[in-house]
């Protein structure tokens, strides 16, 4: 495989020799064991592997939600372990997070949850919020559910609210943890197509952890993890997402 570092590709995310060890009872658990990966700007990169392989841990490290035990993570050429609190907070405002647990406000409507993402990011003028929220909810098929609260929705609908919230801020990077996990196959492919279109049309970079084999059809790169190690890495010459 040709080294892309020599081909003029700009890497927005770099993970170098990353290790993460957790203390569990009287023993230590190594979630990551020296992981290396580089993500080009505008790429759709999928992390696949069994539960416990380190996918979610890696996403948390890239998003600055956790710190590695060894090695480093860099975003836009800046090592996260060299950033102060203000700089890390600014980085997170440029990242769209799609959590496996959805992380929605339970008493807020779908509309209000997406709007809250815009409010917290602080990067979108107030006058643009309404149009942005409505467009993003429409993009995930929830126009008729925008005034419903999470407890009135199915798991798949809640997941789509979380996706709408992530894309509404027009992030530089999206970190997605099982974004199609609660969706049926048809809706899952629609969501994957939407995410891929953001990469193709707007230059958004996507790093996604998933068990969904359909995700590989939309990916530009695929990393397979097992026991905290990169087992394999594939690159795909795909100009567009599959129809």
The pLDDT profile of the chain, 243 residues, written as one tens digit per residue, is 334 444 567 899 999 999 999 988 778 999 999 999 999 999 999 999 999 999 999 999 999 999 999 999 999 999 999 999 999 999 999 999 999 888 999 999 999 999 999 999 888 899 999 999 999 999 999 999 999 999 999 999 999 999 999 999 999 999 999 999 888 999 999 999 999 999 999 999 999 999 999 999 999 999 999 999 999 999 997 655 665
What CA–CA distance (Å, rounded) separates 210 from 55?
Answer: 8
Q: Considering Cα of 105, then 130, then 124, then 136, what sign does the dihedral take?
A: positive
| Predicted structure pTM score | 0.89
Which two three-digit tokens encode residue 119? 């409010």
What order of strands is seen across the sheet that includes strand 70-75? 27-40, 11-24, 70-75, 78-79
Minimal CA–CA distance to 191: which of 203, 174, 171?
174
CATH number for the segment(s) 42-60+90-235 = 3.40.50.300
Which two three-digit tokens encode residue 31? 């979630």
Minimal CA–CA distance to 19: which of 68, 62, 53?
68
What CA–CA distance (Å, rounded) separates 234 from 97?
Answer: 24
Rounded to a whole number, what is the distance in angstroms from the first to the last CA of the chain? 28
């Amino acid at each position: 495989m040709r080294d892309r570092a020599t081909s003029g590709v700009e890497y927005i995310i770099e993970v170098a020799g990353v290790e993460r060890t957790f203390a569990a009872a009287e023993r230590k658990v190594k979630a990551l064991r020296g992981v290396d990966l580089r993500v080009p700007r505008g790429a759709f990169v999928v992390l696949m592997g069994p539960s416990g392989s380190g996918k979610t841990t890696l996403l948390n490290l890239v998003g600055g939600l956790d710190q590695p035990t060894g090695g480093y993570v860099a975003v836009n050429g800046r090592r996260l372990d060299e950033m102060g609190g203000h700089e890390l907070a600014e980085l997170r405002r440029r990242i769209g997070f799609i959590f496996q647990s959805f992380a929605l406000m339970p008493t807020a409507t779908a509309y209000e949850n997406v709007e809250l993402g815009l409010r917290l990011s602080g990067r979108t003028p107030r006058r643009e919020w309404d149009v942005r929220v409505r467009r993003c909810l429409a993009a995930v098929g929830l126009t008729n559910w925008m005034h419903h609260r999470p407890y009135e929705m199915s798991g798949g609908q809640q997941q789509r609210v979380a996706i709408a919230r992530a894309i509404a801020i027009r992030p530089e990077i999206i970190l997605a943890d099982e974004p199609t996990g609660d969706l049926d196959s048809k809706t899952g492919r629609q969501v994957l197509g939407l995410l891929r279109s953001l990469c193709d049309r707007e230059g958004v970079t996507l790093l996604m952890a998933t068990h969904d084999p359909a995700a590989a059809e939309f990916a530009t790169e695929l990393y397979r993890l097992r026991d905290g190690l990169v087992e394999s890495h594939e690159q795909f010459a795909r100009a567009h997402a599959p129809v």
